[in-house]
């Protein structure tokens, strides 16, 4: 029987009774309204701390492995910045082709390895369910940073935090999701998460071939939210409070011709915004390609760059929570 090593990295000083201590964040499904209020409260505190002092030592001595099997700019760098702003360290593995993955190592073995060295693992992977698989083997908290066309829970949390900070509320809103609702994982998570709030109406605008998946619509229907599908934006835009635009996910198309057919299905321009409410906000998980014209960027309703900044505070909150410091 092999000797079981006692970890030299015992979590001294962690609040092991903290509600999210040691938990994985794989999907938005487990989050209740009370959880969301708590996370947004912590994120708000993080914002104040970053604005006042920049970097502080809440996670000093903790290490994050940032394991990215798919391209990322915002998610990977904001998790790194979040850990470093909290005084922790990061092992970034973004170029998996330079790791043992290129030698054929399986995902379970890779996460088992990293779990020997770090306290928390953030993973992005092209397959649905990959984060859950990683969590099974890690023995350390795993945070899903996007599993193929599945979910992107931390994006949905930061999206809701953005709405709260920008609109001053998360209830009684008409949210319109536009673009690639089939492959866009952020809208799958966001639609689910919005069911926790009151008075939300959801409109989905997409080409016929990129409609919101049935399982997401069924979950929304079970919670009793009004939802409707459209192929054009003009009818729903005047009533919209939050316009959530998405990129057509080229990397998920098997047939490039099908991608070419829908790639420019919708383009938000200043002319389009002229037909929207003055207090509406435009969000986008980014990167944008052609779906929002750069001419919209100076419009005060364009919230997509501010949205990135809110992401830092939410990811700081989540790291602190799963590591027992919040």
Q: In 10 A of CB 44, how many CB atoms?
A: 17
**Subset of 286-305 contacting ligand ASP (CB under 6 A):** 286
Number of residues that bind ligand ASP (CB under 6 A): 7
**Subset of 181-220 contacting ligand ASP (CB under 6 A):** 185-186
Q: Which is nearer to ligand ASP, 26 or 286 (CB)?
A: 286
At 44 the three-state DSSP class reads helix
**Are the C-beta atoms of 30 and 86 separated by less than 8 Å?**
no
Closest separation between CB of residue 186 and ligand ASP, Å? 5
Q: Which is nearer to ligand ASP, 37 or 260 (CB)?
A: 260
Q: Chain-centre distance of CA 105, in angstroms?
A: 27
Q: Which is nearer to ligand ASP, 94 or 186 (CB)?
A: 186
Closest separation between CB of residue 198 and ligand ASP, Å? 27
Closest separation between CB of residue 18 and ligand ASP, Å? 28
- How far, in Å, CA of 99 to CA of 33, rounded? 40
Quick check: 146 binds ligand ASP (CB under 6 A)? Answer: yes
Quick check: 315 binds ligand ASP (CB under 6 A)? Answer: no
Q: Which is nearer to ligand ASP, 48 or 258 (CB)?
A: 258
- How far, in Å, CA of 89 to CA of 92, rounded? 10
Q: Which is nearer to ligand ASP, 286 or 316 (CB)?
A: 286
At 194 the three-state DSSP class reads helix
**Are the C-beta atoms of 213 and 182 separated by less than 8 Å?**
yes
Closest separation between CB of residue 146 and ligand ASP, Å? 4
Q: Which is nearer to ligand ASP, 186 or 201 (CB)?
A: 186
Size of the chain, expressed as the number of residues it contains = 326
Q: Chain-centre distance of CA 194, in angstroms?
A: 13
Closest separation between CB of residue 288 and ligand ASP, Å? 8
Closest separation between CB of residue 89 and ligand ASP, Å? 24
At 64 the three-state DSSP class reads strand
- How far, in Å, CA of 269 to CA of 274, rounded? 9
Closest separation between CB of residue 75 and ligand ASP, Å? 6
Instruction: List, as own/partner pairs, every contact residues 80-83 make where C-beta atoms lie below 8 angstroms and the sequence separation is at least 24, other chains included.
Output: 81/312, 82/312, 82/315, 82/316, 82/319, 83/59, 83/319
User: Cα–Cα–Cα angle for 38, 39, 42, nearest 5°?
Assistant: 90
Q: Which is nearer to ligand ASP, 24 or 151 (CB)?
A: 151
Residues 6+ apart with CB under 8 A from 1: none
Q: Which is nearer to ligand ASP, 185 or 315 (CB)?
A: 185
Quick check: 285 binds ligand ASP (CB under 6 A)? Answer: yes
Closest separation between CB of residue 76 and ligand ASP, Å? 10
Quick check: 88 binds ligand ASP (CB under 6 A)? Answer: no
Quick check: 153 binds ligand ASP (CB under 6 A)? Answer: no
Quick check: 144 binds ligand ASP (CB under 6 A)? Answer: no
Quick check: 152 binds ligand ASP (CB under 6 A)? Answer: yes
The residue whose two tokens read 């070419």 is 260
**Subset of 245-284 contacting ligand ASP (CB under 6 A):** 247
Closest separation between CB of residue 72 and ligand ASP, Å? 6
At 34 the three-state DSSP class reads helix
The residue whose two tokens read 């006042």 is 52
Closest CA to 233 of 199, 261, 207: 207
CB burial class (10 A; 0-12, 13-18, 19+) of residue 32?
A: exposed
Q: Which residues bind ligand ASP (CB under 6 A)?
A: 146, 152, 185-186, 247, 285-286
């Amino acid at each position: 029987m092999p000797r079981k090593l006692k970890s030299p990295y015992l979590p001294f000083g962690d609040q092991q009774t903290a509600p999210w201590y040691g938990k994985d964040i794989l999907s938005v499904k487990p989050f209740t309204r009370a959880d969301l209020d708590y996370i947004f409260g912590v994120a708000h505190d993080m914002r104040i701390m970053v604005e006042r002092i920049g970097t502080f030592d809440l996670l000093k001595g903790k290490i994050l492995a940032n394991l990215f099997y798919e391209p990322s700019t915002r998610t990977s760098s904001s998790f790194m910045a979040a850990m470093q702003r909290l005084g922790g360290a990061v092992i970034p593995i973004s170029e998996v082709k330079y790791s043992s993955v290129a030698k054929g190592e399986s995902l379970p073995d890779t996460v088992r390895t990293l779990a020997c060295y770090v306290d928390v693992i953030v993973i992005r992977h092209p397959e649905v369910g990959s984060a859950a698989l990683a969590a099974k083997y890690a023995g350390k908290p795993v945070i899903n940073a996007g599993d193929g066309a599945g979910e992107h829970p931390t994006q949905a949390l930061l999206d809701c935090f953005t709405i709260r900070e920008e609109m001053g509320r998360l209830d009684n809103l008409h949210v319109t999701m536009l673009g690639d609702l089939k492959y866009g994982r952020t809208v799958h998570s966001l639609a689910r998460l919005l069911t926790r709030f009151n008075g939300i109406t959801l409109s989905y605008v997409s080409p016929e071939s990129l409609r919101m998946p049935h399982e997401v619509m069924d979950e929304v229907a079970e919670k009793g939210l009004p939802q409707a599908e459209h192929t054009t934006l003009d009818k729903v835009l005047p009533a919209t409070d939050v316009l959530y635009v998405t990129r057509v996910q080229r990397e998920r198309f098997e047939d490039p011709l099908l991608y070419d057919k829908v790639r420019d299905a919708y383009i938000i321009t200043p002319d389009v915004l002229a037909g929207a409410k003055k207090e509406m906000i435009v969000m986008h998980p980014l990167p944008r390609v052609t779906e929002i014209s750069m001419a919209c960027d100076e419009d005060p309703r364009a919230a997509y760059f501010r949205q990135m900044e809110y992401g830092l505070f939410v990811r700081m909150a989540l790291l602190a929570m799963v590591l027992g410091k919040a």
